[in-house]
Structures are given as C-alpha cells and as structure tokens.
Amino acid sequence: MGGREVEDYRRHEVGFVWQQTSRNLFPYLSAVENVALPMMLTNISPKERQERSVDLLNLMGLGHRLDHTPERLSGGEQQRVAIAVALANHPPLLLADEPTGELDDATASEILDLFGSVNTELGTTIVVVTHDRDIAYKVGRVVLIRDGKTSTEIRRAHTYERQITGQVDVDTPLEEYTLVDGAGRVQLPREYLDEVKIRDRARVTVEDGKVTIVSGEE
C-alpha cells in the first residue's frame, strides 16, 4: 500500500478517537465546524457537509451544542464531538484509544452506550482499547492482551443481543476462553501455573478428548 493509498485508507476506512479530548478537536472551531472539517478533504459539497455534521451531532445528543467551541463543552460532550468527527467520512471501522479514560464512571457509561447506538444505527464496527477490565460487563466481547499477544477472550452469555449497552450488567454470566494462536500456543494465567506448580516446562497429554497439562518438574 503506497502513500496515497494509506492516506485514502485513513481518510475513508477508519475513524479514530484519542483519549485526550484536546487531540481530537480544534479549540477555535465550533462543534459543527470540527465535524465538517474532515469532509473538506473529500468531494462532499458544503451543503452535504453541513447536513451530515448536524445529523451526526444530533445522533451524539448534541443538537443543542452545534455552535459551541470545545471550551464551552464538558469532557463528555467533547468526546461525543470527537466521535462525530471520527465518523464524518462514513468509515466502516472506528478505533477508540481509552475513550473513557479521562471521564467519570457515569459519563464513561454514557459514551459506551453511545458506541452502541453508533454500532446499531450506522453499522460501524467499533474497537475500544482500555485497561478497564469491568468493560466486560458492558460489551459483548473482550480480548485481553498479555505480553503483546492476545491471550484470553471474554464473552457475555447472550453475546449478540446487543454488543454494547453502556450499562454494567453484572448479572449476566461471563464466558472466558483461552485463545490458541496459529502455532498452537496458548497463554495460561500465572495463578493457574502457580496453583499446579508449573514453571519452566510441563507435560501435555490427550485422553478421552481432553488435553491435560501437568508440571514437568521432577
């Protein structure tokens, strides 16, 4: 993929939301102007830019804040505008880096709920990077990364009813799976290894359709 192709990909195929709201918005532009800005790099007419910007801000619940600059918006409202900016050019994929890291719990849940609305109404795939393990109670699927590799997948029992709800549903059971990579490798939680005293090596056997792993220490 060449330079121009990379530029087009970033412009049309993926939207991005940073944790720091100041990195998402121009402080001297209004909410509607911030959303319209990415569309100025495309062939969208000024009228279409204005209409889409207003529509996106309405979806974000900010129809009454169209002409407000970031300094006149709360942290949660700024992040809502940032999401609208990321969606300006109809990207099929939205990446969010710790989008709730600087927000209080209530506002963070509202932002997750908003991602759910975006996923449902626009069909956008959303990938959220976070250190908050409790997010497993708020979304349909969580993949944990350990030492730079995917290690564990957590799913809600009724996974596809609604992928993102924004509400902490502690009553819904979580199903945890260990991921197996293309080379057949798995990452076992350290507490499991300590429990069975596995350190540098282990014995692996297959019996009755089950894989058994025991300590290889003499």
Q: Are 116 and 162 in contact (CB under 8 A)?
A: yes
Helices (H), 13-69: 31-36, 46-59
Select 3-131's CATH number: 3.40.50.300, 3.20.130.10, 3.40.640.10, 3.30.530.20.
3.40.50.300
CA 28 to centroid of chain Cα atoms: 28
Dihedral sign of CA atoms 166, 180, 190, 209 in order: positive
pLDDT in tens, 159-208: 444 445 445 555 667 888 888 988 888 888 888 888 888 888 899 999 99
> What's the rounded Cα separation, in Å, for the pair 16 and 28?
20
Q: Where are the domains of the chain?
A: 3-131, 188-218
Assigned token pair, 134: 């409790």
> Minimum mean pLDDT among 1-5, 68-72, 152-156: which range?
1-5
Q: Which two tokens stand for residue 72?
A: 């006149």
List, for residues 89-116, the tens digit of each pLDDT value: 999 999 999 998 888 888 888 888 898 8
Three-class DSSP category at 14? strand
| Separation of alpha carbons 82 and 4, rounded Å | 25
pLDDT of residue 159: 47
In tens, the pLDDT along 53-76 reads 999 999 999 999 999 999 999 999
